[in-house]
Amino acid sequence: MRDALKLRDPAGAHYTLLVLAYIALTYTGGWAALFQPSAAVNALGVVVLAHSMLIAAYLLHDCGHNAVFMSAKTNAALGKVLNWITGSCYGRFEDIRYKHMRHHVDNYDPVVWDYRSFLKRHPGLARLVHAAEWAYIPAVEIMMHTMLVLAPWVIESKRAQRGRVLRVLLVRGALLGLVLFISPVAFLLYALAQLLLLTALRFMDCYQHNYEVIFNLDDPDTVFPHKGDAKYEQRNTYSNLLSHRFPAINLLVLNFCYHNAHHEKPTLGWYRLPELHRSMQPDVEAQTLGFVPQARAFHKHRVARIYAEEYGADEVKTSLNEGRAVGVDALSFLTAF
């Protein structure tokens, strides 16, 4: 038992305990706030709940890298719990880890389902998605998470997971149905918290890479020309800090924004990434993005980003500063296909 709970970085045990306590307190507290009669408490609860799920998602990401515990099984056990907290539990933690490891090793963004081609074949749905994205509703991400439920029936490699997905639907559906029965308002507020989570995750993913998207996740034999190329990896990875002057603000995304440092040492704990980022200066400065240009481009290109035809072919920092960077949607590590 002691070996199973051995941390990869014992010196950072207090950080691990703090983040686990934060997730537990804010998730339960956020849910409790949704049922209160005060609109102000409800609003606070939505924000707190969304943030608890965001931090859970990034800690899940660290579990995928075996960056929390030495034992892969213990990382997986925690990752599975966090997967339920984020609401992405229709996909298996093992699949999340596999897809993300392909991203790191191949230096590409391999996926299975091409939602862009799907929308082009269904113009009515495309118009609805365009309208929703214009209104800041993350419709593409909603499609991707819906596909987590449908994947075993439409993606051949997921057929064996039909029973599992049905069991998850039964359990999670019953829990959410109970919430809806007790308080329709709390149910709608939870849905809003989920939309905030998806928006925050897609913002952080939007400009962190300039990799090519390839629809071959199910083909492990594909030859990737940049596989294992550390220089290419760093040159096409970007650190999108929320703040340069006040590093503590970056804890809002569990330091996921120190992305060059993360790709330099993927098993390094989230609390050690700022120090590694500083040690990589001045070289990493060319890959460090400003928050304002990102926010401006994220707003400006919210509809054009649905198709993101130029993703993988345009240097991100220059195009951001010139207002041209469109970014990319639907590459969340939580959607494991």
User: How far apart, in whole angstroms, are the C-alpha atoms of residue 213 and residue 203?
Assistant: 17
User: How far apart, in whole angstroms, are the C-alpha atoms of residue 54 and residue 46?
Assistant: 12
Helix (H, G, I), strand (E, B) or coil at 238: coil
**Helix, strand, coil share (%) of the chain residues, nearest 5:** 65, 5, 30
Tokens of 80: 């599975």
Residue 209 gets which letter from DSSP? B
Helix (H, G, I), strand (E, B) or coil at 7: strand
pLDDT reported for residue 213:
84
* DSSP secondary structure, 232-271, as one string: HHHHTB-B--S-SS-GGGGGGGTTTT-HHHHHHSTTS-GG
User: How far apart, in whole angstroms, are the C-alpha atoms of residue 271 and residue 268?
Assistant: 8
Residue that wins the pLDDT comparison between 228 and 195: 195
| Torsion of the alpha carbons at 4, 8, 12 and 16, rounded to the nearest 10 | -50
pLDDT of 9 > 70? The answer is: yes
Cβ–Cβ < 8 Å for 265, 280: no
Window from 36-40, 71-75, 107-111, 117-121 with minimum mean pLDDT:
107-111
pLDDT of 192 > 90? The answer is: yes
Angle between helices 72-86 and 39-64 (to 10 degrees): 150
pLDDT of 218 > 90? The answer is: no
Helix (H, G, I), strand (E, B) or coil at 79: helix
- Mean pLDDT on 31-38: 98
Buried b (16+ CB within 10 A) or exposed e, 165-183: beebeeeeeeeeeebeeee
Largest alpha-carbon pair distance within the chain?
Answer: 58
Tokens of 315: 């240097």
User: How far apart, in whole angstroms, are the C-alpha atoms of residue 8 and residue 319?
Assistant: 39
Cβ–Cβ < 8 Å for 92, 158: no
pLDDT of 32 > 90? The answer is: yes
pLDDT of 253 > 90? The answer is: yes
What percent of the chain lies above the pLDDT cut of 70?
98
What percent of the chain lies above the pLDDT cut of 90?
85
What is the residue-averaged pLDDT of the chain? 94
Token pair 């993360």 is at which residue? 262
pLDDT of 271 > 90? The answer is: yes
For residue range 56-104, list pLDDT tens digits in order.
Answer: 999 999 999 999 999 999 999 999 999 999 999 999 999 999 999 999 9
Cα 277 to chain centroid distance, Å, stands at 21
- Mean pLDDT on 9-22: 97
Closest CA to 193 of 86, 295, 290, 277: 86
Tokens of 277: 């980022």
Q: Where are the alpha helices (DSSP H) in 68-215?
A: 72-86, 93-106, 115-121, 123-134, 139-154, 162-182, 184-206
Facing residues of 214 across strands? 110
**What's the burial of 225, exposed, middle or buried (CB within 10 Å: 0-12/13-18/19+)?**
exposed
pLDDT reported for residue 310:
66
Please name the helix (run of DSSP H) or strand (run of DSSP E) that holds residue 214, with its range, or none. Answer: strand 213-214
User: How far apart, in whole angstroms, are the C-alpha atoms of residue 194 and residue 204?
Assistant: 16
> Domain-by-domain residue ranges, the chain?
1-84
Cβ–Cβ < 8 Å for 71, 3: yes
pLDDT reported for residue 51:
98
User: How far apart, in whole angstroms, are the C-alpha atoms of residue 23 and residue 50?
Assistant: 11
Which pLDDT band holds residue 1 (cuts at 50, 70, 90)?
low
Tokens of 61: 């990401």
Please name the helix (run of DSSP H) or strand (run of DSSP E) that holds residue 329, with its range, or none. Answer: none
pLDDT reported for residue 337:
86
Angle between helices 72-86 and 13-34 (to 10 degrees): 20
For residue range 130-186, list pLDDT tens digits in order.
Answer: 999 999 999 999 999 999 999 999 998 899 999 999 999 999 999 999 999 999 999
- Mean pLDDT on 245-262: 97
For residue range 287-332, list pLDDT tens digits in order.
Answer: 999 999 999 999 999 999 999 876 766 789 989 988 888 999 999 9
